[in-house]
Amino acid sequence: MTTTAIRRTPQPPARRRPFKHHRAPLVEVLERYQAAGTVPFSCPGHKLGHGADPALVGLLGPELFAADVWLGTATHDRTLRDAEALAADAWGADRCLFLGNGSSSGNHAFLLATLEPGDEVVVARDLHKSLLAALILTGARPVYVAPRLHPELGVGVGVHPDDVAAALQAHPPARLVALTSPSYFGVATDLEAVTRVAHARRVAVYVDQAWGPHFGFHPQLPPSAMAAGADGATTSTHKMLSSLSQSSILNLRGGRVAADRVAAAVKLTQTTSPLLPLLASIDACRRQLVLDGEALLGRAVELAAGARSRLGMLPGLQVLDAGRLGLGPRQLDPTKLVVDVAGLGLTGLAAERVLRQRLAVAPEGSDLSSVILAVTIGDTVASVEQLVGGFTALCAQRVPAAAPRPLPRSWGAVLAPGGQAMTPREAYFAAARAVPLAEAAGQVAAELVTPYPPGMPVLAPGEVIASDKLAYLAEGRAHGMYVRGPADPSLATLRVVAGDRSEAP
């Protein structure tokens, strides 16, 4: 065979991505560190696991400890920048910043870099508590917009661009629009439309896309925030992809926000002792996503579709889908399953307890009306079988309720913005007093009250407390809802701003 003949043999299909994406700089630097037999005289003090509790090493594996090393500042920063550049390319961003404290820290850093005390910011009221914490940190003044609600199901179906336009019209000095999309329940706001509205007024758009790191990597998933034109977005690679818990990224695009200022805010707010395996896991996750993501996500979408239709056939269950919610194509994450259990005469909270404690199924979360499940690239036919089997057993133990009582949803009316008496920061630092829950209506909240999950504050500092929110919290507590934020987690009392009752509506 001649050389020419060899050259003419069929070539493998062209790589969909440039070869650079086969690299994972943070994984490789770790491999080199270990190959060199390096002996650390730096923290962490467990020294490659030799000093760690043997039972813990047995549980977690010696490899984790051997990978928990410090590279030195210069090597660390250089390698991190290389890995971040590859991730920026993957997500279609100009700049990507790796986060070791979740999308929570992305929310803190982005707002600290883009807002000043007193600045107005248009914020969707279904915000995560970390975005609210960012409002407290910055002292910004939120102009809340509510997600629209499905008229019968009472669930949030995204923030409408017209509502953003109206908020910007009413508040011309607003510096930023900040939205959560998708919601915890997988509903994606039309980010392209919102971005058009905001950019027409020269206002930047920031998206908390914590639940959508996989968006844009499969044709059946909604677009990523970057593809939709957002200026900044944080996304938790640990939530719906394969990196380790706490890992996340912050993406930036275009010239409306000062990338260096955001990068400085990230450095300011992150730990100075990052866990290298955690950062390397983002790098490896990005490589996996770029090289095999579409196929892996295709399988997850297919598994979720199978689970959705089988669960929907069980007596007493209803699985929310785009059709029932009146959503268009690519407006609902098909890998998130929201299973209504009211037809079983159970709250979602009770159903989750049974699934976890007796049926070896661990849902993502639950609220009064539903159980929420995430199907990801880590699922298999066997794991989905266990899920359907668990629900089948749950349904078999119950007589379906003839006329289920509709219960309020954690992503519905309970997130309506209340009257704003002061900024979250002013209320957080104001003199406060504890009052019995029943007496808190009409007072100004001094603390966050956040049912978990989904982590969206029902009460936000600075808001006038509405009685229907108190009723929701009381009912939730009676059914075992877990609440974070208040000084008194039993909710017997609430902290309100000391002084007269608010005059705000």
- The residues binding ligand PLP (CB under 6 A) are 102-104, 128, 130, 180, 184, 208, 210-211, 236, 248, 454-455
Return the number of the residue (185 or 391) whose C-beta is nearest ligand PLP.
Answer: 185
Return the number of the residue (370 or 443) whose C-beta is nearest ligand PLP.
Answer: 370
* Alpha carbons 444 and 331: distance in angstroms, whole number: 35
Return the number of the residue (157 or 464) whose C-beta is nearest ligand PLP.
Answer: 157
Return the number of the residue (103 or 189) whose C-beta is nearest ligand PLP.
Answer: 103
* Alpha carbons 228 and 226: distance in angstroms, whole number: 5
Torsion of CA 73, 75, 80, 82, to 10 degrees: 150
Please report, for residues 56, 444, 449, 468, the alpha-carbon distance to residue 123 in angstroms, rounded to integers and kept in the order given: 43, 19, 18, 22
Return the number of the residue (195 or 236) whose C-beta is nearest ligand PLP.
Answer: 236
Residue 200 near residue 229, CB atoms below 8 Å: no
Minimum distance from residue 178 beta carbon to ligand PLP (Å): 11
Return the number of the residue (105 or 420) whose C-beta is nearest ligand PLP.
Answer: 105
Residue 354 near residue 371, CB atoms below 8 Å: no
Minimum distance from residue 482 beta carbon to ligand PLP (Å): 13
What is the Cα gyration radius of the chain? 24
Return the number of the residue (101 or 502) whose C-beta is nearest ligand PLP.
Answer: 101
Minimum distance from residue 248 beta carbon to ligand PLP (Å): 5
Return the number of the residue (130 or 138) whose C-beta is nearest ligand PLP.
Answer: 130
* Alpha carbons 285 and 487: distance in angstroms, whole number: 38
Q: Name the pairing type of β-strands 176-180 and 204-208.
A: parallel
Minimum distance from residue 209 beta carbon to ligand PLP (Å): 8
Kindly state the tokens that stand for 275.
Answer: 């866990």
Minimum distance from residue 310 beta carbon to ligand PLP (Å): 27
Q: Of the candidates 434, 493, 433, 504, which has an alpha carbon nearest to the alpha carbon of residue 462?
A: 504
Strands (E), 410-473: 432-436, 450-452
Minimum distance from residue 245 beta carbon to ligand PLP (Å): 8
Please report, for residues 38, 52, 64, 365, the alpha-carbon distance to residue 57 in angstroms, rounded to integers and kept in the order given: 20, 7, 8, 30
Minimum distance from residue 62 beta carbon to ligand PLP (Å): 28
Minimum distance from residue 90 beta carbon to ligand PLP (Å): 18
Q: Of the candidates 233, 224, 162, 181, which has an alpha carbon nearest to the alpha carbon of residue 204?
A: 233
Minimum distance from residue 125 beta carbon to ligand PLP (Å): 12
Return the number of the residue (102 or 222) whose C-beta is nearest ligand PLP.
Answer: 102
Show Cβ contacts of residue 325 under 8 Å, excluding neighbours closer than 6 positions: 150, 153, 155, 157, 187, 332
Query: Amino acid identity, residue 155?
Result: V
Where b means 16+ CB within 10 Å and e means fewer, 344-370 reads bebbbbbbbebbeeebebebbbbbbbb
Residue nearest to ligand PLP (CB): 102
Locus of tokens 């104001």: 430
Return the number of the residue (408 or 455) whose C-beta is nearest ligand PLP.
Answer: 455
Residue 494 near residue 465, CB atoms below 8 Å: yes
Minimum distance from residue 205 beta carbon to ligand PLP (Å): 16
